[in-house]
Amino acid sequence: MSATVEERPTPALTEPRKVAPAKDSRKLIRSQVRAGWLFLAPALLHSGIFIVIPVVAAIVLSFTDYSFGDSWSWIGFANYSELFQDVDFRAALANTLLYAVVVVPLSMAISLAVAIGLNQKIKAIGFFRTAFYLPTVTATVAIATIWLWIYNPGSGLANGFLSLFGFAPGRWLSDPSTALPSLMVVGIWQGLGTKIIIYLAALQGVSRDLMESASLDGANRWQRFVNVTWPALGPVQFFVLVTSIVGTFQVFDLVYVMTRGGPGTETHVLVLDIYQNAFQALRLGFASAETVIMMLVIAIFIGLGRLLQKADVND
């Protein structure tokens, strides 16, 4: 018995088995790594050309006085120190922060409410889903043009509607006190579609078993929403938050078409200020410094969002 047992691990039989799989697996791993890089290559090349190079270029340019002319020089942090004394930049930063702080939570809340509504078994659900998504696929310039008419002080829909209730006509976009809120309304409305679709997909992924269990335990609708739906939406909330913050910080076309940043600096936002400094004042170095600051502010906001959402870093 014992001899038989001792004979089991015969080198002649086991050694080739040990060596062969190791070689094969290394080969397999190498080919998998190659395939991985091959599949990644287009995305890496794209990111390298259109993201990494421009970002590095912006950082480098921010330390120069380049203004499209023949000569330029390194000026250290001069653009940055000038930036924080620039009243237009400060106004643009404040307006952008205010725009983000108002538009992001409001649009998320409205989108979630609408998504919950669209997740019910109601008639013409397809029509409603399409209608809510329509602004997202419409060009911002077209949307802005329609809203320009809505806000027109003389013949606009907004004043026409208010006049039915005896309100005095408003000068929505030319009154300093209403210009930015008017843009916020358009921004919220335009951004609903994408968020609704994402929330809708997440809502349909909420575990029915958990919902049924909660119902059986006697939980009402609100309790089911708070204790089952809301926690299940966590990762999606974080995704929507991040994309919304980035989107609101990048607001430009809406402002460009509707107010050009006016009246005064009431609707002056960061990207518009960057655009004007770069392509109208021809101060590309200065505008690059502004871009770097904007990237940092966005990063800080996303960091804060992560903290608030207590999101899993490894999502």
Partner 1 sequence: MRRGAGLVVLVAAIGLVASACGNGVIDKSTDGVPPAEATGTLRVLLPSFPASTKGREAFEKVVEDFHKTYPKMKVEPDFATYNNLNEKMSTSIAAGIPYDVMVTGVGWVQPFASKRIFTDLAAYGVTPDVIREKSIAAMIQPATYDGKLYAYPLVADARAVALRVSAFKEAGLDPDNPPTSLEELKVAAEKLTKRDANGTITRSGMDLASPTGFRQSFTTFLASTGTPLYVDGEPNFDNEKGLETLNWIKSMINNVQPYGQQNAAQQPLVLTGEAAMGIVGGAVDCTDKGIGQANCDDLKFFRFDSGKEIEYVGGDLASIGSRSRHKDAAWAFIQSLTQPTTLDEIAKLNKKLPAYKDAANSPQAKSNPLSKFVAEGLPHAINENSPPSNWLEMRGNFDIQLTQAVLGQKDPAKVLANLAGQSR
Q: Please state the closest distance from residue 156 (CB atom) to partner 1, in A.
A: 12
> CB-based contacts of 29: which residues, under 8 Å, 6+ apart?
none
Q: Which residues of 273-288 are buried (b: 16+ CB within 10 A; e: fewer)?
A: bbbbbbeeeebbbbbb
Nearer to partner 1, 191 or 261 (CB): 261
Q: Please state the closest distance from residue 246 (CB atom) to partner 1, in A.
A: 24
3-state secondary structure string, 256-310?
HHHCCCCCCCCCCCHHHHHHHHHHHCCCHHHHHHHHHHHHHHHHHHHHHHHHHHC
Angle, vertex CA 85, rays to CA 79 and CA 88, nearest 5: 95
Q: If binding is defined by CB under 8 A, does position 19 make contact with partner 1?
A: no
Q: Please state the closest distance from residue 176 (CB atom) to partner 1, in A.
A: 6
Task: Give the sign of the dihedral formed by CA 259, CA 262, CA 266, CA 271.
Answer: positive
By rule CB under 8 A, what count of residues binds partner 1?
A: 33
Before 263, cis peptide (omega within 30)?
Answer: yes
**Residues 122-161: x/- map of binding to partner 1 (CB under 8 A)?**
-------------------------------x--------
Q: Please state the closest distance from residue 224 (CB atom) to partner 1, in A.
A: 50
Q: Choose, by CB under 8 A, the member of 168, 216, 307, 313 that binds partner 1.
A: 168
- DSSP structural state of residue 72: -
C-alpha 102/C-alpha 137 separation (Å) is: 23
Q: Please state the closest distance from residue 205 (CB atom) to partner 1, in A.
A: 40
Q: Please state the closest distance from residue 65 (CB atom) to partner 1, in A.
A: 11
**Residues 170-189: x/- map of binding to partner 1 (CB under 8 A)?**
-x-xx-x-------------
**Residues 271-310: x/- map of binding to partner 1 (CB under 8 A)?**
-----xxxxxxxxx--------------------------
Task: Please list every residue from 52 through 81 that binds partner 1, using CB under 8 A.
Answer: 67-71
**Residues 218-257: x/- map of binding to partner 1 (CB under 8 A)?**
----------------------------------------
Nearer to partner 1, 256 or 301 (CB): 256
> CB-based contacts of 16: which residues, under 8 Å, 6+ apart?
none
Angle, vertex CA 110, rays to CA 248 and CA 146, nearest 5: 65
Q: Choose, by CB under 8 A, the member of 117, 169, 170, 234 that binds partner 1.
A: 169
In this structure, are residues 262 and 175 in contact, taking their beta carbons and an 8 Å threshold? no
The pair phi, psi for residue 177, each rounded to 5°, is: -80, -20
Nearer to partner 1, 281 or 308 (CB): 281
Angle, vertex CA 188, rays to CA 185 and CA 193, nearest 5: 140
Q: Choose, by CB under 8 A, the member of 16, 54, 264, 303 that binds partner 1.
A: 264
C-alpha 91/C-alpha 263 separation (Å) is: 12
Q: If binding is defined by CB under 8 A, does position 90 make contact with partner 1?
A: no
Q: If binding is defined by CB under 8 A, does position 27 make contact with partner 1?
A: no
Query: Which residues of the shown chain bind partner 1 in the complex (CB under 8 A)?
Result: 45, 48-49, 67-71, 87-88, 153, 168-169, 171, 173-174, 176, 260-265, 268, 276-284
